[in-house]
Amino acid sequence: MTVLVVGSVALDSVETPFGKAEDVLGGSATFFSASASHLTQVNVVGVVGNDYPLDKLQPLTKRGVDLSGIETADGASFRWRGRYRHDLNSAETLETHLGVFSHFSPKVPAAFQAPDFLFLANIDPRLQLDVLQQVKRPKLVACDTMNFWIESRRPDLLTLLEHVDLITLNDGEARQLTEQSNLIAAAKWIMARGPKHVIIKKGEHGAFLFTNDRIFYAPAYPLESVFDPTGAGDSFAGGFIGYLARSGDISEANMRRAVVYGSAMGSFAVEQFSVERLMTVTKAEIDQRVREFRQLVAFEEELPA
Amino acid sequence: MTVLVVGSVALDSVETPFGKAEDVLGGSATFFSASASHLTQVNVVGVVGNDYPLDKLQPLTKRGVDLSGIETADGASFRWRGRYRHDLNSAETLETHLGVFSHFSPKVPAAFQAPDFLFLANIDPRLQLDVLQQVKRPKLVACDTMNFWIESRRPDLLTLLEHVDLITLNDGEARQLTEQSNLIAAAKWIMARGPKHVIIKKGEHGAFLFTNDRIFYAPAYPLESVFDPTGAGDSFAGGFIGYLARSGDISEANMRRAVVYGSAMGSFAVEQFSVERLMTVTKAEIDQRVREFRQLVAFEEELPA
């Protein structure tokens, strides 16, 4: 089944304790599609400036990603510059230049207007709502958001919640949105406002999937060296939605498997700068990592006393 | 099989966002034995002042805990006063009065000198080493420690590592001891110095068990309300060692189950002040929570494509 993602296509400059990268591929839609395209057909809607090295996205096209919904506008591309300190847990933003992204008005091409799955990556909730009006109702609509929109677009975000099936957000954003310090209480707060499922991402501490009164937990894959955390969340979302779309099954049991695929894709993303590792990872490596997730949490039934 | 624990028996005064408790049962040996006694026979070595309400420990005696190794010394009992803010993640110590504990010199009674399992709770590594010399080599020796000893008794702690099979410590302590920010690297550093197994506790983010090149991860039980985190780590250790001692099996497979029992006991401990919940929890409730841990992380094999 096909997935439509609407989000940013950017150029990142990143400094970590292990090295530097300048003007490398970045943005939520880029990470999402680099991840999801291992599992299903992905169509992208976004905007870049006429300085964007679109040729560098060709490896995605080869994997079947349809980039024809990326509009090229006059002006500079969205650029982000950030730095991670030794703990790698939080990025310090050094510069943000929105460029043409500041006037982004997503236009979903006719060929993309009946997606099976829709991921509204982290953009202005007003634009996320606008995209929803341009498409035939998908099998599943998921969205992401961030602290900036929670502060500045709270009413729009609450309206959006009424129209999505699932939201992914990190623990800090969940607490900020709901004003609940406990994550179970936060998830209940959100589910009472629309989404049937809530995924709360805790970075190196894993992710929760909440569905009604059931909780699933997947750890982060324990990596001995995390190289660059940028894009981990969007790569997670790409693995999660991509897995659901591959099977077309949105049962809670299948969502659990999808969270593990999301965690696996997130763990690959952080092994190199940008989408480098997502470009080279193979199906066999993905399947092997999913098996390792099972080993990581497996414990046998107790023997009878 | 029997477990010997050597540690503190204290009186805690605790303030949380949900209430206050004054001079309630506390200390590492107290939490450990309240937890482990649900699973096996526990003998305690410790010291209290002649002001200690020993009668309040009677419920432990009824569960088979042998308290005859608790010496009563002239002077005041060890008292700790702490406060938790809304996030409940870290205690703020308001007062520490070591009292008779400052001269603690553990004397293992003859009847306790051949334990099957030994837990050296968080005390001076010199005393932990001294206890080791008083006992016949147990099937498994585990120890805990804290930032204070890592700073002030580093050489003794490193000597201790050569003589223990397993160490439990939290993520901050693991990083401080090893000067490795990555927890896998930290565990390898420790295993290279003696212990065959390392448990790194991450509080609300669960716990890792490292054995050779294998990693097991158990989440913390997601509680909607954590009442008082005091003693969670020692209750975890009590559940872990208690489960190993019940079965006498120290295989890696059984240690995985033991970590889940530890996590379950830790999750009960934080539901009320002091050892209150550990005093009332039933075997059926413990088994039910272990089943819920399995549900929390369970995902089915993928169906053939």
Q: Are the beta carbons of A225 and B182 separated by less than 8 Å?
A: yes
Q: Are the beta carbons of B219 and A206 separated by less than 8 Å?
A: yes
Enumerate the β-bridge partners of residue A214.
Answer: A211
pLDDT digits (tens, 9 = 90+) for B179-208: 998 999 999 999 999 999 999 999 999 999
Q: Are the C-beta atoms of residues B200 and B173 closer than 8 Å to each other?
A: no
pLDDT digits (tens, 9 = 90+) for A18-76: 899 999 999 999 999 999 999 999 999 999 999 999 999 999 999 999 999 999 999 99
pLDDT along chain B (305 residues), means of 10: 98 94 97 98 98 97 97 97 83 93 96 98 97 98 96 98 98 96 96 98 95 95 91 97 97 97 97 97 96 92 56
What CA dihedral angle connects A98, A100, A103 and A105, to 10 degrees?
A: -120
pLDDT digits (tens, 9 = 90+) for A87-144: 777 789 999 999 999 999 999 999 999 999 999 999 999 999 999 999 999 999 999 9
Nearest to A257 among B256, B257, B299 (CB): B299
Q: Are the C-beta atoms of residues B255 and B216 closer than 8 Å to each other?
A: yes
Lookup: tokens for B265: 């006991």
Q: Are the C-beta atoms of residues A216 and A208 closer than 8 Å to each other?
A: yes
Nearest to A14 by CA among A233, A232, A190, A227: A227
Rounded CA separation B25/B275 (Å): 7
Best mutation target, A217, A259, A263, to test chain B (most B CBs within 10 A): A217
Rounded CA separation A134/A113 (Å): 7
Nearest to A76 by CA among A93, A94, A100, A105: A100
Complex ipTM over 0.85: yes
Q: Are the beta carbons of B222 and A183 separated by less than 8 Å?
A: yes
For chain A, how long is the longest CA-to-CA vector?
73
H-helix or E-strand containing B246?
helix B232-247
CA torsion sign, A166 to A171 to A172 to A175? positive
Nearest to B181 among A87, A184, A253 (CB): A87
Q: Are the C-beta atoms of residues A42 and A36 closer than 8 Å to each other?
A: yes
Is pTM beyond 0.90 here?
yes
Nearest to A185 among B217, B224, B297 (CB): B224
Rounded CA separation A21/B176 (Å): 30
Enumerate the β-bridge partners of residue B53.
Answer: none
Q: Are the C-beta atoms of residues B280 and B38 closer than 8 Å to each other?
A: no
Q: Are strands B91-97 and B19-26 parallel, antiparallel or unpaired?
A: unpaired
Compare all CA atoms of chain A with the CA of B171 and give the residue at the minimum distance.
A205
Q: Are the C-beta atoms of residues A249 and A241 closer than 8 Å to each other?
A: no
In chain A, which among 87-126 make CB contacts under 8 A with chain B? 87
Best mutation target, A297, A300, A301, to test chain B (most B CBs within 10 A): A297
Q: A17 in contact with B at a CB cutoff of 8 Å?
A: no
H-helix or E-strand containing A236?
helix A232-247
Q: Are the C-beta atoms of residues A186 and A180 closer than 8 Å to each other?
A: yes
Lookup: tokens for A172: 């800090």
Residue A255 has, within 13 A of its CA and on its CB side, a CA count of: 21
Q: A257 in contact with B at a CB cutoff of 8 Å?
A: yes
Rounded CA separation B193/A44 (Å): 52
Rounded CA separation B26/B32 (Å): 10
Q: Are the C-beta atoms of residues B242 and B284 closer than 8 Å to each other?
A: no
What are the chain B neighbours of A303 within 8 Å (beta carbons)?
Answer: 247
